[in-house]
Structure formats: C-alpha cells, structure tokens
Amino acid sequence: MRKILVVDDAKVIRMVIKQILTRHGFQIAGEAGNGREALEKYKELKPDAVTMDIIMPEVDGIQGLKEILAFDKQAKVIMISAIDQRDSLTDAIRNGATDYVVKPFEDDRMVTALKNIFGEAQS
C-alpha cells in the first residue's frame, strides 16, 4: 500500500485529502503544516509520495519541494494550488514537481495524479 505525506497549512484541507486518499486505498504516512515540517517528516517517514500545498507560512511549498528533492532526487511530489497560482505551479514543475492538482480539486484528479506517478493503470 502506497504511503502518502500530506502537506498543507490548513488542517481542514489535510483532513479532506486524507479522506480522499484512504478511500482510494492509499495509506497516510503523516502530515505537515509547512515546507520545513514536510522535509523533517519526509526524512522520518520515507513516504512513497507527497502532496504539497504551494502557499504556506514560514517555508512555502516550492521551497519544501526543493529541499525534499535535494534530500531525495527520486521523491514524488504533487503540488496543490489554488486556481490563481499558475505562475507558482509553473515554478513548481520547473523545480521538479511530479504533477499538480488545482483546488478545489475533484477526488478523481488527486487519485489519478497519484496513480499516474506510480505507473498504475486506472481501473
């Protein structure tokens, strides 16, 4: 079972993402509220993938992405952003994000993004 680290500064969003993922057979490795915490949790929990919000306090998602990839070049990070953050998304992809999901997201989009990065065909 794939373990996912959920990173978002909004607890309610983390809860929604966790519900979607567990409903679709993913396991939640842990959660973090900003990019710095994300790196710490990534090192500690070694998840199979990370969902990372872009806009967060202290250390944002782009910086968190860079730090996780500096630690593990193979890391799979899916960025999550609001619809008006296109520039940030482009920046994230340029910096090595595996995929992205735009809020408000559909369950299917999140699940498809994760299955794609693991090379799992859609059922």
Angle between helices 61-71 and 86-94 (to 10 degrees): 10
In a domain, 120, yes or no: no
In a domain, 123, yes or no: no
| Mean pLDDT, each 10-residue run in order, the chain (123 residues) | 96 95 96 97 98 93 97 96 80 92 84 89 52
Give the closest residue to 112 by CA, choosing from 21, 29, 11.
21
Domain count, the chain: 1
In a domain, 121, yes or no: no
pTM: 0.91
What does the pLDDT read at residue 12?
A: 94
Both structure tokens of 53? 């919000």
What does the pLDDT read at residue 102?
A: 87
Contacts of 10 (CB under 8 A, 6+ apart): 53
In a domain, 64, yes or no: yes
